[in-house]
Amino acid sequence: MQQTLNKIDELTKTLQALLPMKPEWQQRLDKKFRLEFNYNSNHLEGNTLTYSETELLLFFGKTSGDHDIREYEEMEAHNVALELIKEWAADKERPLNETMIKSLNEVILVKPFWKEAITPGGQQTRRLIKVGDYKEFPNSVRLSNGEIFEYASVADTPIMMGELIEWFRAEEEKKELHPVALAALLHYKFVRIHPFDDGNGRISRLLMNYILLKNNLPWLVIKSADKKNYITALNKADTGDIDAFVEYVANQLLWSLELSVSAARGESVEESDDIEKEISLWKRQLSASVDAQPKTDDQVAELFIKCLNILLHDYETKMKTSFYDLFAKWEIRGFVNGGNGNNEGVEYIVSRVNNMIENLKKREENNKYKTVMGFDVHETYVNTVSLKIDMLGFKKDGTNTFNIFTDLLIEFQDFKYVVKFNSQIKIEKLYSELLRREERELIISDAVKETFKKIKLSLINPPLSEI
């Protein structure tokens, strides 16, 4: 455990030396932590909103999917609680108290609600869950071996919560425990009491992060995909091995610190190449059973409105944030069906495509059809769009001022559209299939990785024209 805590201290020093980071980098990191923490902490407790649905709700105020209204409300409420924790942590002189903890419960549960429960005799029942007050009924959990573990009794809960606050304040005053150990211990002791009828897990993780933030450490995210190891670490603590849980918490914080260091260096905080996302994406593609339909103007227009313009915008933004400061000059040009291009980039492409489609619809003389493989295919002006980014004059090595050229190309073929980067196919889709967020992220991530590799190779092996 001590070795992990030492590594945390080393990474913290590295991070502090890089601060303050650029506002736009800090904003990206804050957004990442906000999304990861809200999604995972709620997902651990059974909330069924997906990662993308959580992102849509928190950052755009919109909902998708078929979920109970309470799940949306609790996700938004949890985000409010997150901001409350940040506010408390920023006030170094404000001591933690029971009123603050009760207010967290009131925030995340939103309002009283009925919940399925089991009586001490094992009978199914319904119970009114109140918010902001300690539990009125005993609570318990069934362990993996089938035994029932009882949390603190209703009568003992107020006493034990008072003792918990006294213990915490005393440890804060002594400053003997590492902040990570203190955070882990508060989480564990709180969960052992389970003072509320609902929301105890979420509050324990919020309180843990309150301590970390107060000690200038980043948000700690326990991934829902790692729930089994999380529970195992808590179970080990139940048997007296509290160090096992502190070690588990410390290892999760390493991810947050490494992510923060990457952000402070201007590097990506996205995880588009996670194996889980790749597997999920592969399964979606594998299960596709939609018949191919010929291209139409309406389909091309819909694709641009719903996903392709987002791909182009995000690609341009990502390339800039990754490499803009490395080159003396940038040229970003947009092309539609080849031609000379235009230096307005994405905006030119979107505007040109929209105008061409509208003009085509208005011209009766262009409503001709051609036959391809037995299908009547409506002719369209839009066959290809391309966003070329030329990075000119590498300025971090005075003896090697090379250039890097990139091209993101979308081809609208007769029965499918194809996205290529530097002539390599990245994805092929039917016109009835939108380009999903995960697919856009993977395309952009691959493009950034390939460009980065090309830059590093150019540093080692300058182009012949520059030798």
* Interatomic CA distance for residues 271 and 256, integer angstroms: 13
Q: Taking residues 109-128, what's their average pLDDT?
A: 78
The pair phi, psi for residue 276, each rounded to 5°, is -65, -40
Among 45-49, 376-380, 454-458, which is the least confidently predicted range?
376-380
* Interatomic CA distance for residues 395 and 399, integer angstroms: 9
pLDDT at 379: 47
Amino acid present at 427: I
**Has residue 67 got a pLDDT over 80?**
yes
* Interatomic CA distance for residues 421 and 407, integer angstroms: 6
pLDDT at 377: 43
Amino acid present at 324: Y
Distance of CA 189 to the CA centre of its chain: 29
Domains of the chain: 2-264 (1.10.3290.10), 275-461 (no CATH)
**Has residue 186 got a pLDDT over 90?**
yes
* Interatomic CA distance for residues 443 and 76, integer angstroms: 30
Q: How many CA atoms lie within 13 A of 376 on its CB side?
A: 3
Cα–Cα nearest to 310, from 322, 321, 318: 318
- Average pLDDT of the chain to the nearest whole number: 86
Among 3-7, 91-95, 139-143, 379-383, which is the least confidently predicted range?
379-383
Amino acid present at 311: L
Q: Taking residues 198-214, what's their average pLDDT?
A: 97
**Has residue 378 got a pLDDT over 50?**
no
pLDDT at 156: 96
pLDDT at 404: 93
β pairing state of 327-336 and 113-118: unpaired
Per mean pLDDT, which of 118-132, 376-390, 402-416 is the most reliable? 402-416
Q: What is the pLDDT of residues 360-370, one digit of tens each?
A: 666 544 455 44
* Interatomic CA distance for residues 156 and 307, integer angstroms: 56
pLDDT band, residue 68 (cuts 50/70/90): confident
Per mean pLDDT, which of 77-86, 279-288, 310-319 is the most reliable? 77-86
Does residue 459 or residue 133 have the better pLDDT?
133
Q: Taking residues 56-85, what's their average pLDDT?
A: 91
Cα–Cα nearest to 354, from 386, 380, 332: 380
**Has residue 279 got a pLDDT over 60?**
no
The model carries a pTM of: 0.61
